[in-house]
């Protein structure tokens, strides 16, 4: 096994082109488990922790561009105001030790249907910036996940960053698990209100082969909310939103939960996150007025 | 593969490291530092917690080569010679140690909490900080008491200075 240690992004891309089978490693929170349990024996590891370009985030117009190597702990500490949905989701990852180490880029690269960063990124229409020696591609987040643990990355490509519009309204994330810490989601749900466009965004985790949006639910709720007046959400609207979110999932029975439970829980989380975000929206509106 | 890194203030140069092995293996089996414990090997139990460049990590999930050029502090680096760190003393006095296997990881994670808390942490903060450290002798109450005690000792000492 080779251990490749690029120190610049250009060098990382060259090494990935030369060794397309090399497995990129950042925080190691997924890949090292595979190695420790002898589940995979890659011919080479490509250590990205020395590539400085990946370790920061920056403003790019209205977008926040988060380097692939930024760990969850920094998203929580530094991006809570700009990207509250992603920060809340990051807060639910593993333990403090895992959040110090695990990265947003790694979460995307692993492409697990249960990745905690994925639902809020879907709800905010994030884009994934991938690069190879051939050039840069910018993929809408919902074109990035292909199958369980398979992404649209070509063998010679690496994830450079994720671009997300800064929050224009309240955002929430909810996750079901057996305890607060160290939990892989039974299922999870993210909701983002985009008041300027009078629409909402959603993301469902751990309840389909890939993280998915609930498109019909997005469209229904965007049209049903009283954006101008900030009036309360009718019980019927909340219930219908929950049903549409549950309907957008295609969960399976597995060790963490059943199909029926996951659908039920998604409807509950959809209604709750709607109540929380709409409350914040109305409060915010009152302050502005 | 050669790995050169600093552990508890001392430089180590280790040769013939297999690229797929963990920092935990490197510390225990090649550097003679068995304080960090090997249990779950998947980041669930926290018994291998060490500082890597000032941040606590599960050393079982760090590839050995990723530690090259970095600074590591393990539980062996807490005491000053024979003098226990106040946190270690508090663990002994509070009876927070039963079988002792989880203790090194808990000490490192609690140390990090106290380093980053001004004054005494709340119980919620202690529980949150230690949420990734499992004790199978069910000694959590005494562990939390030990962290509280150590925090008070530290606060008292700072007030008297």
Query: Strand pairing partners for B83?
Result: B80
Look at residue B154 in the predicted model and tell me its pLDDT. Answer: 78
Burial of A56 (0-12, 13-18, 19+ CB in 10 A): middle
Q: What is the pLDDT along chain A (289 residues), one digit of tens a residue?
A: 999 999 999 999 999 999 999 999 999 999 999 999 999 999 999 999 999 999 999 999 999 999 999 999 999 999 999 999 999 999 999 999 999 999 999 999 999 999 999 999 999 999 999 999 999 999 999 999 999 999 999 999 999 999 999 999 999 999 999 888 888 999 999 999 999 999 999 999 999 999 999 999 999 999 999 999 999 999 999 999 999 999 999 999 998 999 999 999 999 999 999 999 999 999 986 444 3
Nearest residue, CB atoms, A5 vs list B42, B60, B65: B65
Neighbours of A50 (CB within 10 A): 18
Look at residue B157 in the predicted model and tell me its pLDDT. Answer: 72
Per the prediction, chain B carries an average pLDDT of: 95
Q: How far is A31 from chain B (nearest CA, A)?
A: 8
Q: CA-CA distance, B130 to B108, in Å (whole number)?
A: 10
Q: CA-CA distance, A79 to A85, in Å (whole number)?
A: 10
B7-56 per-position pLDDT tens digit: 999 999 999 999 999 999 999 999 999 999 999 999 999 999 999 999 99
Neighbours of B120 (CB within 10 A): 17
Task: Report CA-CA distances (Å) from A94 to A13, A181, A258, B107.
Answer: 30, 6, 22, 19
Radius of gyration, CA atoms only, chain B = 16
Greater model confidence, B153 or B49: B49
Which of A45, A49, A95 should we substitute to test contact with B (largest number of B Cβ atoms within 10 Å)? A95
A175-216 per-position pLDDT tens digit: 999 888 888 999 999 999 999 999 999 999 999 999 999 999
Q: Tell whether B54 is within 8 A of chain A (Cβ).
A: no
Confirm if A104 and A72 have CB atoms less than 8 A apart.
yes
Nearest residue, CB atoms, B57 vs list A100, A181, A182: A100
- Nearest Cα to Cα of residue B147 among B111, B119, B118: B111
Residues from chain B that touch A3, judged by Cβ atoms under 8 A, are 1, 19, 63, 65
Which of B3, B4, B15, B19 should we substitute to test contact with A (largest number of A Cβ atoms within 10 Å)? B19
Q: CA-CA distance, A73 to B145, in Å (whole number)?
A: 26
The whole-model pTM stands at: 0.96
Residue with tokens 């490693």: A25
User: % helix / strand / coil in chain B, to the nearest 5?
Assistant: 40, 15, 40
Task: At A213, list the tokens.
Answer: 């949006």
**Closest chain B CA to residue A41:** B20
Listed by number, the residues of chain A in 87-106 with a beta carbon closer than 8 Å to a beta carbon of chain B are 94-98, 100-101
Q: What is the ipTM of this complex?
A: 0.96
Q: Tell whether A36 is within 8 A of chain B (Cβ).
A: yes
**Closest chain B CA to residue A7:** B66
Task: At B70, list the tokens.
Answer: 């970095």
- Could A32 and B61 be called an inter-chain contact, meaning their C-beta atoms sit closer than 8 Å? yes
Q: CA-CA distance, B156 to B144, in Å (whole number)?
A: 18
Q: Tell whether A196 is within 8 A of chain B (Cβ).
A: no
- Nearest Cα to Cα of residue B106 among B121, B95, B96: B96
Three-state secondary structure call for residue A255: coil
């Amino acid at each position: 096994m080779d251990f490749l240690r690029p120190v610049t992004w250009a060098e990382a891309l060259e090494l990935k082109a030369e060794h397309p089978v090399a497995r990129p490693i950042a925080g190691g929170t997924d890949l090292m488990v595979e190695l420790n349990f002898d589940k995979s024996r890659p011919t080479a590891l490509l250590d990205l922790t020395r590539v400085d370009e990946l370790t920061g985030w920056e403003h790019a117009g209205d977008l926040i561009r988060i380097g692939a190597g930024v760990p969850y702990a920094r998203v929580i500490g530094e991006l809570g105001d700009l990207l509250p949905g992603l920060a809340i989701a990051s807060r639910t990852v593993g333990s403090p030790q895992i959040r110090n180490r695990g990265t947003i880029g790694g979460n995307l690269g692993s492409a697990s249907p249960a990745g905690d960063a994925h639902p809020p990124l879907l709800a905010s229409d994030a884009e994934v910036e991938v690069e190879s020696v051939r050039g840069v591609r910018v993929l809408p987040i919902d074109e990035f996940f292909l199958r369980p643990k398979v992404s649209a990355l070509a063998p010679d490509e690496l994830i450079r960053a994720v671009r997300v519009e800064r929050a224009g309204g309240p955002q929430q994330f909810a996750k079901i698990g057996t305890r607060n810490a160290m939990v892989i989601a039974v299922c999870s749900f993210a909701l983002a209100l985009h008041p300027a466009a009078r629409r909402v965004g959603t993301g469902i985790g751990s309840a389909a082969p890939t993280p998915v949006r609930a498109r019909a639910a997005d469209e229904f709720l965007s049209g049903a909310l009283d954006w101008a007046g900030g009036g309360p959400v009718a019980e019927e609207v909340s219930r219908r939103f929950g049903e549409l979110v549950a309907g957008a999932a295609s969960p399976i029975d597995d060790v963490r939960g059943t199909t029926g439970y996951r659908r039920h829980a998604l409807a509950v989380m959809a209604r709750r996150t709607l109540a929380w975000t709409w409350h914040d929206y109305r409060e915010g509106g009152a302050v502005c007025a | 593969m050669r790995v050169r890194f600093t552990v508890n203030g001392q430089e180590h140069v280790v040769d013939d490291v297999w690229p797929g092995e963990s920092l935990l293996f490197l510390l225990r089996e090649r550097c003679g530092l068995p304080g960090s414990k090997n249990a779950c090997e998947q980041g669930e139990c926290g018994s291998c917690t060490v500082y890597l460049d000032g941040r606590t990590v599960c050393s079982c999930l760090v590839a050995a080569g990723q530690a090259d050029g970095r600074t590591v502090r393990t539980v062996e680096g807490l005491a000053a010679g024979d003098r226990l760190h106040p946190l270690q003393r508090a663990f002994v006095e509070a009876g927070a140690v039963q079988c002792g296997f989880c203790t090194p990881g808990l000490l490192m994670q609690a140390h990090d909490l106290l380093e980053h808390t001004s004054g005494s942490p709340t119980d919620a903060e202690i529980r949150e900080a230690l949420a990734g450290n499992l004790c199978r002798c069910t000694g959590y109450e005494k562990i939390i008491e030990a962290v509280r005690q150590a925090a008070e000792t530290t606060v008292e000492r700072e007030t008297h200075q």
